[in-house]
Amino acid sequence: MKSSDLKLIDILVVEDNSGDARLIREVMNGHKIFSSFYLAKDGVEALDFLRHKGRFRNSPKPDLIILDLNLPRKDGREVLAEIKADEKLKHIPIVIMTISQAEEDILRSYNLHANCFITKPIDLNQFIKVVKSIEDFWFTIVKLPPKGDLCENPQITSTDLAGKIQHNEK
């Protein structure tokens, strides 16, 4: 693979189980992408990261969020609702990855605009396979939203964009 084919992807994993978080990181590191991996251990930390608060004031906007539902301090369902209600964050794809198999959790997650819902496999090999599938799908097949003006200012118009393009071509 040529270096020009490699992508730099920022991934925020919101997971209170350090073993699951470490495994996700290990599977994704060195695969098809160069990724910066960020971990939030609870819902409050995740929202602080996304809103650049406190020690996260210089945090990047992630390209993808992998979110557990059962979190301390602020539940993953609440985190999902807050992200999808925020104009500056709602475009970020969110993969729910949780032990829950409850229909209520599945329906609620999709009603809150999760991009997909995955039940964590208990078997280690299956867990690795699922994480590789997430990576393959989200980073080689899907076209992710751009970072920058279009996402930061969702009110930007096509006329504004055309002006920016013309200005940059001069």
- Residue (of 152, 145, 17) closest to 93 by Cα position: 145
* Segment 102-114, tens digit of pLDDT: 999 999 999 999 9
pLDDT reported for residue 37: 86
- Give the pLDDT of residue 1: 42
Per-residue pLDDT, 40: 95
Domains of the chain: 3-169 (3.40.50.2300)
Query: Are residues 76 and 96 in contact, defined by beta-carbon separation less than 8 angstroms?
Result: yes
Interior CA angle at 126 toward 122 and 130, to 5°?
110
For residue 140, give the DSSP letter: I
pTM score > 0.75 for this model?
yes
Distance CA 82, CA 84 (A): 6
- pLDDT at position 151, please? 47
Residues of the chain with confidence (pLDDT) below 50: 1-4, 149-170
Helix axes of 76-85 and 43-50: crossing angle, nearest 10 degrees: 20
For residue 23, what pLDDT is reported?
Answer: 86
Identify the pLDDT of residue 170. Answer: 41
The pLDDT assigned to 30 comes to 57
Beta strands in the chain, from DSSP E residues, in sequence order: 8-14, 34-40, 64-67, 94-98, 116-119
